[in-house]
Structure 1
Amino acid sequence: MPAPSHLDHFDLDIGLRDASCDENLPPVRRAIAALCIGVGVDDAYLSVRELREAVSLVHENASGGRAKLAGILSTQCDDFQRAIYYCLAGRGVVEMAEAMDWLLTILKARGRTAAWLSRMRVRRKDLVSPYVSEAPDGPVVSASADFELGQSWFVERGPEPY
């Protein structure tokens, strides 16, 4: 059964675009939604999930947590994960985690929609990566796990209100 014509060229980023412009959302959530626009469906979800897991490991003082986070932030690839991390850094570890959980919900729904569209053979708009290179665009952090945690790792939330 063919899909309805109004689904032709479906924009998978519509939810991210809406979130990035929603004045009822905190600015940091609008910002991280905007950072995901154009990033591949699996790449965006898996990258944010990996970053979220690393932040949890550091927060829980788990063995290898700092090495995992340092590894992510020092990887010689595009700056997507660094952009998400530094957008949230300094706001309190709980706020950082909650923002990534919120984003993961949107990205998971985006992935499910992409899978459904694929099964239904519905054409979707091409995702155009916002990155011009798969390499870092500047200096990256050291891969050393021996880094000092800033004060925001010891508070739950940043200053209120937005």
Structure 2
Amino acid sequence: MKTDCIEAFDLDLTLKDASSDPSIRPTRRMIAAACIGLGPEDAYYSVRELREAVEWIHEGEPAGKRKLTTILSNHCDDFQRCIYYALAGKGIVLVLDDLQWLEGVLQARGKLAGELLRGKRPMLPLVSPYVASEPDGPVGRFDVDFEIGPSWSFDPGPDYEAFDRVVDPKLSL
């Protein structure tokens, strides 16, 4: 379909690029790939809600644990669990950094979708990766008083940039 010589825009293009870019940290590639096909609003607000819960826990906000257990035990699709478990145990600084990065990508994607809709510009249809609106498998039961492990206080310090270094694929191990 064409309008004014402009072909349908692929809203997932940035996510597809990010998911396969070797200069991007592997965890970011994973979570970008997990968002492909999701509606702009659902993806953005789901990641924002998850980031807020994780941030609240990190900041010692009592409501954070309750919010995270509610998210992880929710009987809707598995998207938020997918994002959380892709990052769990990686260290809170990196987890929050990756969630904030993804939230920014998804926010820009949502703004672009809005502009395209308002301008009546064609977009490629989004094909959700989820085939059901409920979980596909067991959903855990969580105690809001769960213990905070060492990854929730891990700070890589000045070597943080080392986590983003790209390994030259030509180098052999």
Contact kept? 1:70, 1:141, Cα under 8 Å:
no
Alignment: residue pair count = 160
Residue aligning to 1:5: 5
1:50 has 2:49 as partner: yes
TM-score with structure 2 setting the length = 0.87
1:153 has 2:163 as partner: no
Residue aligning to 2:169: none
Shift of 1:3: 5.6
Contact kept? 2:91, 2:155, Cα under 8 Å:
yes
Contact kept? 2:37, 2:129, Cα under 8 Å:
yes
1:80 has 2:79 as partner: yes
Q: Show structure 1 runs of 5+ residues with no match.
A: none
The 1-side partners of 2:89 and 2:54 are apart by: 13
Residue aligning to 1:91: 90
| 1:13-52 → structure 2 map (5 Å cutoff) | 13-52=12-51
Residue aligning to 1:100: 99
Residue aligning to 2:69: 70
The 1-side partners of 2:29 and 2:20 are apart by: 6
- Post-superposition Cα deviations, 1:31-75, rounded to whole Å, max 9, x if no partner, equal 100000001110000000000000011111112110000000000
The 1-side partners of 2:143 and 2:125 are apart by: 38
Shift of 1:144: 2.6
Q: Show structure 2 runs of 5+ residues with no match.
A: 166-173
TM-score with structure 1 setting the length = 0.92
The 2-side partners of 1:71 and 1:141 are apart by: 10
Aligned partner of residue 122 in structure 1, secondary structure:
coil
The 2-side partners of 1:70 and 1:134 are apart by: 19
